[in-house]
Structure 1
């Protein structure tokens, strides 16, 4: 009898082991295999969220098929305590394993709702946008001008959402005064700014911030980034450039930034000004004159007057030799790199060509002909031709 009992028990144990093995294999397949979502999913992890809460949310939105398997797999991989706050876009049919990898790796958020305060050269704007999971592209929902308009209700509500991202975006070519004025109007920031940072020392970039972030601390981060960008470019510069120090390179970069918005032209524009410096010519560039008029406090919405071109200031490169006293804006990384890696040309002149770009010339005769063509284009545009 005991033999029969032992045999039966052994059989049941074997069957049970086989069943457990099959269940484990099935669970592993569920964990590593394609997920149920047929479109991209925006997976959000709240600050301090537990794996249990996240797995429940994922199951409810159809990103995973089984919350228990998701938690078990994450625990087995040793990642159950590694959740990183943020919003992450995951592709269609992403496996549970893939999703665990995304939400525990962290990094910049790639989806969800975000409010962006954009400090621009001509105007600031605040934009509410969120991602369309089907296309993976951000779509603008609401936009307003903080200098002239009231905060739309949708943006005010979004700023209060715990999972919404707040971002400050600084355009290339803005002045430090414009940045400070913009940050003062950003009502989701806090704290006093103090003095305006030195011109050119703020890095145009996108900065993710928390609600209530300190304005002065944000400006300090901008200065740190710009300093690092400039130092890296300075250390990698070729031999023989006409700059005595990184600050002079930054001044040149700001001029390049204001002279062209065409990425492919930056290095050529830089070469023109470098060639002029090396030949003892004056830079004679309008943006420096404009800065002498405005000192970076706003935009000059008119043409330069003859009296302004002839008035000597520390920035009027028609009247002074060499570089102006300070940068005339905050140049971006590309302009800094162009100033420190100018193209090898023998150009010393350039003028607008009517396409948004410039015509570059080696001689005054070539330049005068290019200017005449530009005048014709201006006349045709003025007459509607």
Structure 2
């Protein structure tokens, strides 16, 4: 029995080194590092997943980033707007993928479910929403400025440019753009277009400079709204200039009275025609001292290369266009016909007013004169 007890193995004693403080600290550090490595890997995996996976945005949405916003400000705003889930992941993703690249202020359009990666790419590239503003042909510079001032997407104050120095067109704008930038582009485009068209003008054109081209084009622009008539209207005025005849254009009377306001607000009277102004081409010889609006490309091109015609007169035809004539006798007959059309239209209007239709019946249509074509004789008596 004693012998058996002696044969039992004795338990192993732990070495002194296992309890050494350095060993214990090293073990703890290793465990911590291992924990951090595993935790960091999991955090990195989650961050990558959150950065690339579709976001919480339920429907398409536009978000405006104010000027001067920092990265954290942008991240907070996007999280409040429901575009991203976690601002921390957003900031970290930007730093890892676009380090040093700033995000641009402006208006951004985000699709439903957009990923944070896509948001970061879009904003660092500055792919802001593009809007359009259309400035029609024939507006005065004051009217153009008024339209720009009425557009609440634009910023800044502007002065009224010289008449005829702006190119009417549809322009791309972004929210927050300065109005002066739009005017600068309109001016640069106008200078280029005028230079190109002037270089290709007809050799016998009785105009001395690009400035005179713009003046006459502004008159043509106001005289007709029909594109196919512009070369014919231009031909009438060019023929009258060549013959030293007064232009006798009604829109020049209006501009001489109201200037950049553009609209007289009433029909032209005989007193208006007989009242001299610097722009009244019934009173002055040749061209007025400046444009009466901002002509478009088509009117500039029509004046530079007008239709081959001997016509010296035109008057409204009652359909929105004009009828042309070479002689004063022909023109007077055309004017008489226009007066008949006017009288018929007034009679129908009076009859309709005296006998209004039932509420369920549509009102009868009545013919109207062409836009911008007062019932005068146009170039007529000289």
Structure 2: distance between partners of 1:28 and 1:221:
38
Q: CA deviation at 1:110?
A: 5.3
2:115 is the alignment partner of 1:99:
no
Q: Could you say which residue in structure 2 is the equivalent of 1:240? A: 202
2:26 is the alignment partner of 1:64:
no
Q: Could you say which residue in structure 2 is the equivalent of 1:122? A: none
Unaligned runs of 5+ in 2: 1-26, 350-365, 367-382
Q: CA deviation at 1:366?
A: 7.8
Q: Is the contact made by 2:253 and 2:279 (CA closer than 8 Å) also made in structure 1?
A: yes
Give the TM-score taking structure 2 as reference length.
0.59
Q: Could you say which residue in structure 2 is the equivalent of 1:159? A: none
Q: Could you say which residue in structure 2 is the equivalent of 1:54? A: 74
Q: Could you say which residue in structure 2 is the equivalent of 1:286? A: 250
Report the secondary structure of 2:322's partner residue: strand
Give the TM-score taking structure 1 as reference length.
0.59
Q: Could you say which residue in structure 2 is the equivalent of 1:134? A: none
Structure 2: distance between partners of 1:347 and 1:54:
67
2:278 is the alignment partner of 1:318:
no
Provide the alpha-carbon RMSD of the alignment: 5.0
Q: CA deviation at 1:371?
A: 5.0
Q: Could you say which residue in structure 2 is the equivalent of 1:26? A: 49
Structure with more contact order per residue of length (Cα contacts < 8 Å, sep ≥ 6): 2
Unaligned runs of 5+ in 1: 112-137, 139-166
Structure 2: distance between partners of 1:340 and 1:67:
60
Q: Could you say which residue in structure 2 is the equivalent of 1:229? A: 189
Structure 1: distance between partners of 2:315 and 2:304:
22
Report the secondary structure of 1:269's partner residue: helix
2:164 is the alignment partner of 1:200:
yes
Structure 2: distance between partners of 1:101 and 1:174:
41
Q: Could you say which residue in structure 1 is the equivalent of 2:230? A: 269
Larger Rg: 2
Structure 2: distance between partners of 1:83 and 1:227:
31
Q: Is the contact made by 2:62 and 2:108 (CA closer than 8 Å) also made in structure 1?
A: yes
Q: CA deviation at 1:290?
A: 2.1
Q: CA deviation at 1:66?
A: 3.5
Structure 2: distance between partners of 1:69 and 1:277:
69
Q: Determine which structure has the larger strand proportion and give its number.
A: 1
Q: Is the contact made by 1:177 and 1:296 (CA closer than 8 Å) also made in structure 2?
A: yes
Report the secondary structure of 1:59's partner residue: helix
Report the secondary structure of 1:43's partner residue: strand
Structure 2: distance between partners of 1:221 and 1:170:
11
Structure 1: distance between partners of 2:306 and 2:112:
45
Report the secondary structure of 1:231's partner residue: helix
The structure-2 alpha-carbon separation of the partners of 1:368 and 1:93, relative to structure 1 and needing over 3 Å to count, comes to farther
Q: Determine which structure has the larger helix proportion and give its number.
A: 2
Report matched runs for 1:164-203 at 5 Å: 173-175=138-140, 198-201=162-165
Choose which of 306, 329, 332 in structure 1 pairs with 2:270.
Answer: 306
Report the secondary structure of 1:97's partner residue: helix
1:270-299 CA-to-partner distances (Å, cap 9, x unmatched) read: 542245314635433210122233444664
Structure 2: distance between partners of 1:332 and 1:305:
26
Structure 2: distance between partners of 1:77 and 1:184:
40
